[in-house]
Amino acid sequence: MNLPAKSPSASETRHRILDAAEVLFVEHGFEATSMRMITGAARANLAAVNYHFGSKDALIQEVFRRRLTELNRQRLAALDRLEADAGGAALKPSRIVEAYFGTALQLAADTEHGGHTFMRLLGRTYTEPNAFIRKFLAEEYAGVLERFRAALYRALPDVPREEILWRFHFMMGAMSYAIAGTDGLQLFAGRFDDADPVRLMPRLMSFLLGGLRAPLAGFEQACDDQPGRAAA
């Protein structure tokens, strides 16, 4: 099984280009990655990108589309399952957050099929200056975000909706940076002995939910300011 696809319609070159581009985009960024670098790494002709995708921009778009379509499909499926299980009752916010960020973290933990690579790329791209990329990313996300936004509104009826959006925003930032920034800047170079993406999940999820549950205004709650110890 898993024989190399010989069918020309599956265009094996096309896939090699997408894979090579994904890796190089993470490593050097979109602008600094030249078509020559991509086709070189993909063992393809320089003109192959334009032949298969039309332009560099279209290639970038396809790199995202093939992964995001699947990721967001899984996110929606997870949310569907939650709602089906709840049977009309309001969902627990933590479950919603898990459905959204857990799915992404699972993809980020996949180091075998490029999932980790892609999530690093995606994390960085949220602050991408290129207008074209921003635009189609927003379009690609529109549907999913709408669903999760509505779910959170229902789950947190007493929280001002604007605050919900902000916290969702903060959570996305924490996750993006956690994934994209770790191998990048390495501000605490050498100190992350354990950058295993698998173990990132519980750490990040705990942080995110802590942030989500934090008191709404001000931060001078009477507390000892120490992380709590989870009940076993």
Partner DNA sequence: CATGAATGAGACTTCATTCAT
Partner DNA sequence: AATGAATGAAGTCTCATTCAT
List of residues contacting DNA (CB under 7 A): 8-9, 11-14, 33-37, 44-52, 54-57
CB of residue 62 to its own copies, shortest distance in Å: 19
By CB under 8 A, what part of segment 148-167 binds its own copies?
149, 156, 158-159, 162-163, 165-167
**Sheet strands (E) in 88-211:** none
- Based on the shown chain and the rule CB under 8 A, indicate whether residue 85 belongs to the binding site for its own copies: no
The answer to whether 29 contacts its own copies (rule: CB under 8 A) is yes
According to the binding rule CB under 8 A, does residue 181 interact with its own copies? yes
From the list 187, 163, 167, 191, the residue with the least C-alpha distance to 177 is: 187
Q: Give ∠ CA 113-114-119 in degrees, rounded to 5.
A: 135
Residue 36 binds: one of its own copies, DNA, none (C-beta under 5 to 8 A by kind): DNA
Q: Long-range pairs for 11-20 at CB < 8 Å and ≥24 separation?
A: 11/52, 13/42, 13/44, 13/48, 13/52, 14/52, 16/42, 16/43, 16/44, 17/42, 17/44, 17/48, 17/49, 17/52, 17/53, 17/59, 18/59, 18/62, 18/63, 18/66, 19/114
- The one of DNA, its own copies, none whose footprint includes residue 72, by CB under 5 to 8 A per kind, is none
Give 17 or 108: the residue with its C-beta nearer to DNA. 17
Which residue in the set 127, 132, 150, 153 belongs to the binding site for its own copies (CB under 8 A)? 127
Smallest separation (angstroms) from DNA to the CB of 77 = 31
Q: Check: CB of residue 212 under 8 Å from CB of residue 172.
A: no
Is 112 among the residues that bind its own copies (CB under 8 A)? no
Angstrom distance (rounded) from CA 130 to CA 61: 12
Give the H or E element holding residue 177. Answer: helix 161-180
Residue 139 interacts with which of its own copies, DNA, none, CB < 5 to 8 Å by class? none
Q: What are phi and psi of 21, to 5 degrees?
A: -60, -45
CB of 63 to DNA, least distance (A): 14
Considering only residues 184 to 213 of the shown chain, the ones binding its own copies according to CB under 8 A are 184-189, 191-194, 202-213
Question: Which of 79, 124, 147, 152 is in the footprint of its own copies by CB under 8 A?
Answer: 124
Question: Taking the alpha carbons of 165, 167, 172, 177 in that order, is the dihedral positive or negative?
Answer: positive
Q: How far is the CB of 6 from its own copies (least distance, A)?
A: 22
From the list its own copies, DNA, none, pick the one residue 111 interacts with, judged by a Cβ distance below 5 to 8 Å according to partner type: none
